[in-house]
Amino acid sequence: MICQKDITSLKTDIDEKIGQKIIVKGSLGRSKSFSKEATIEKAYPNLFVIKFNENNRNVSYSYTDILTRTIEVDVFDGKKYNPLIPPLTTIEA
């Protein structure tokens, strides 16, 4: 379940990364996916805007797109790309 605290924390993380390079990964349906380099342009209360490097196109996503894993965002830290939120782990009983 997504809590308001999770969304607020993610907003803060994205606000701190405005201007940084990222890789956005997502699904296009029917076993098609994409992975594109972009830059975080702006952050608003309910969504954030990225600009794809290859075609200078702006796209907006909601914070819940990341939390529900509709898209994955990897942030460049100067050396390598790291996931914005950690990958899911399974717990065995």
Residues 32 and 92: their CA atoms lie apart, in Å, by 30
Question: What is the chain's mean pLDDT, rounded?
Answer: 91
* Mean pLDDT of the 84-92 span: 77
- Taking only the tens place, the pLDDT of each residue in 36-72 is 999 999 999 999 999 999 899 999 999 999 999 999 9
> Which whole number is the average pLDDT over 7-28?
93
How far is it, in rounded angstroms, from Cα 44 to Cα 2?
A: 19
Q: Is residue 90 part of a domain?
A: no
Q: Is residue 91 part of a domain?
A: no
CA distance to 16, 32, 33, 78, 84, per residue, from 13 (Å): 5, 29, 25, 17, 8
According to the model, what pLDDT value does residue 93 have?
63
CATH number of the domain to which 61 belongs: 2.30.30.100
Instruction: Establish if 89 belongs to a structural domain.
Output: no
Q: What residue numbers bound the domain in which 64 lies?
A: 4-82
pTM of the model: 0.84
